[in-house]
Each structure stands twice: as C-alpha cells, then as structure tokens.
Structure 1
Amino acid sequence: MSERLTIFLELEKTFFQVFREFKKDIKRILQDDITGAEDTLLHCLSEKNPQTITELSQDFHVSVSHITHVVDQLEKKGLVERKRSVQDKRVVEVYITPLGMKKMETIDRKKRKYFQEKFNNLTTEELVTLLRIFRKLK
C-alpha cells in the first residue's frame, strides 16, 4: 500500500471519528430542545427573513415536504410563523419570531463556547491552517 493511500485511510478514519464526536456534542448542546435541521433553518431565516418554503427547500437542497415538516415543528415551538405575502396573497412566507431569534442566539453562545473549548489546545496558527484547509475542501 502506498504511503499516500495509508494517509488517506487514516485521515478518513480520524475525520469520521471527529465528525461523530462533534455531532454528538452539538446534539447534547441543543438538548433535545431543537434539532440540527431546525437550528440551521433558524439561521437561514435570521440572515434572510422572510422566505418561502420553496426558497428554503432550494437553499438546503431538500424536498419541500421536509422543509414543511421542519417549519411545522418550529411553528409549534413559537420560533417561526407563516404569513401571507403582502405582494401576493397566494404566497405564504416563513418568518423567524423574536422568540426564535432569542433561541438561536442562546444556542449560538453555547456552540461558540463549545468550539472555543474544543479547539483551545490548538495554536492560532494551527487554527488558521485548519480553516484554510477546510476552505480549500469546500
């Protein structure tokens, strides 16, 4: 086996171990209060509010029915609301509520603290290198 292939195999194994740990930890941070999909959708709405279900499904590259389900769950929690468009009454838009913004900000603080602690043992130079590598992989 070539050295490069050995490195790829070790990288794959390590990457998935780290990814699983991050996923588990983020789920713990969210505390069954909100799902990862709900958190991501709230962030999307906080950046571009309002959006239609179709726009959201295109942004996330998932089905309209999946977004509808996520929006239903967020609406039950009072984190988003649906309203008819002022320009076209046939169109329903999804808005993040003040409670949704507050929830997102609280979760963001927890995630930021987690990542600061997780990456605390890396130097600034190592963090910059890691970021550069991730950007290159995008």
Structure 2
Amino acid sequence: MEEPVDPIRTTHRLLLRTFWKLQRAIRNRLEEFGITPPQFSVLVRVGEEGVPLTRLADKMYSDISTVNGIVNRLEKQGLVKRERCTSDRRVVYIKLTPEGLALRQRVMPVHLQHIEERYAVLSAEELATLQELLKKLAGNL
C-alpha cells in the first residue's frame, strides 16, 4: 500500500531542492570570477563607506567568526580592507578596496542576468504569489 503524500514534507523538500540547485548554479557562475557565494555576499553588502563587522554578520544572517573567515580570505585577495573606527577602537569597519569595487561591478550584471534567467519561467503573477508565500513562511521562523 502506498503512503499518502504529506504536502508539508513535499513542499519542504521542493523548497530545499530549489534552494540548493539555485546555490549550485550561482556558485558555478561565481567561480568564473574566482569567488564563492559568501564572498560575493560580502562584496555586495559592504559599501564604499564600509560596514562594521558585527553589522555585516547580521546582514548575512551569520555569526562573526564565520564572516571574519570570509573577510580574511577577501583581504588576502586584496578585495577588502579593515579599518578601526576612530571614535571607538573596538569597532572594525570592512571596506571595499578599488579592486573589490571593480570586481563587484563586473560580477553584479552577470549575477543579476543569471538570476533573471532562473526566474524567467514564472509569470509576474506567479512571482508575486511566490513572494507573498515566502514572506509568510519567513515570518513564521
């Protein structure tokens, strides 16, 4: 006898599978530029004016030690730099170097086009519905 389909588990599996397939596609595209998705996430979230490391970790929904490791690798590549806040020496700002800014400017249009291509199978109405459903689900977490 066949087990009945559990809509919650099926939805959960589909959501996870979609997430991981998107992540893999993004990772493969970013490899062409020599960076990983978490590194790209830092480059996107760090403006030219810089952002405190603690705020960056919050923006990335991650802990400081994980983000610090990502920043260390980007710093070794010459893409970001650290600067202490002049008014509070405990605060460390992460800033893009000119090389980091140039890389972000090269990657961003390619990344956005790649994302648009992935979602092109959905109509505007389907996208709006998906957004509302994901917001509702995220609000419950």
User: Shorter chain as normaliser: what TM range?
Assistant: 0.7 to 0.9
1:105 partner SS? helix
Aligned-partner SS, 1:122: coil
* Equivalent pair of 1:29/1:107 in contact (CA under 8 Å): no
Q: How does 1:90-101 map to 2 (within 5 A)?
A: 91-101=91-101
1:17 aligns with 2:17: yes
Moved more, 72-81 or 100-109: 100-109
CA contact (8 A) 1:45 1:95 kept: yes
Alpha-carbon distance, 1:9 to partner: 2.1
SS of equivalent residue, structure 1 residue 41: helix
User: Partner residue of 2:103?
Assistant: 103
Instruction: Output aligned runs, 1:10-89, within 5 Å.
Output: 10-31=10-31, 33-46=34-47, 49-60=49-60, 62-89=62-89
Q: Cα 1:19–1:62, aligned 2, differ >3 Å: closer, same or farther?
A: closer
Does the alignment pair 1:130 with 2:130? yes
- What runs of 5+ residues in structure 2 fail to find an aligned partner? none
Paired letter, 1:137: L
Q: Which has the higher helix share?
A: 1
TM-score (norm 1): 0.79
- 1:59 Cα shift? 4.3
Dislocated runs of 4+, deviation >6 Å: none
SS for the counterpart of 2:6 is: helix
Amino acid at match of 2:102: K
For 2:61 and 2:18, how far apart are their aligned partners in 1? 25
Within 2, Cα distance between the matches of 1:122 and 1:55?
A: 34
Aligned residues: 135
Where do 5+ consecutive residues of structure 1 fail to align? none
Matches of 1:119 and 1:12 in 2, distance apart? 19
Cα offsets for 1:72-110 (capped at 9, x unmatched) = 111111111112333345644221123212222332222
Could you state the TM-score of these two structures normalised by the residue count of structure 2? 0.78
